[in-house]
């Protein structure tokens, strides 16, 4: 079956603008994760969904960041009033959670804030 897909693959925006990043998980996976990866670093956790609800959003850096998963499948990460420091690769992963929590990652969206 298809893997995790993310769109767009690249997004260039200006400081202060609003952006939306989309993640389409592996079909049937109930768990969905967003991570952010800066150059030369490993991914850092942002938010975790189990079904439609955000089970853990402790990694969101501030209230400019928000994510939804209204139907328990596709998720959208929303960033308001973007700042240059938001520039990074945003990675999405999904997992069936059963029996183990192998997380399968998408190709990422490279966000550049000018």
* Nearest distance, CB of residue 43 and other proteins, angstroms: 5
Find where tokens 């189990």 sit: 50
Helix and strand totals (H; E) in the chain: 0, 11
Closest CB to other proteins among 26 and 113? 26
Nearer to other proteins, 18 or 61 (CB): 61
Residues that bind other proteins (CB under 8 A): 4, 31, 33, 35, 40-45, 48, 56, 59, 91, 93, 95, 97, 100-108, 110
What is the residue-wise DSSP string for 82-108? Answer: --GGG-EEEEEEEE--SSS---EE---
């Amino acid at each position: 079956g298809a893997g995790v897909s993310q769109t767009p693959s690249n997004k260039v925006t200006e400081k202060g603008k609003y952006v939306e990043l989309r993640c389409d998980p592996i079909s049937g996976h109930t768990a969905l994760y967003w991570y952010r990866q800066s150059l030369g670093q490993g991914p850092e956790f942002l938010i975790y969904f189990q079904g439609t609800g955000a089970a853990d959003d402790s990694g969101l850096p501030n209230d400019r960041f928000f994510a939804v998963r209204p139907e328990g499948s596709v998720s959208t990460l929303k960033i308001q009033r973007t700042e240059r420091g938001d520039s990074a690769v945003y990675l999405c992963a999904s997992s069936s959670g059963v029996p183990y929590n192998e997380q399968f990652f998408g190709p990422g969206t490279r966000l550049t804030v000018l």
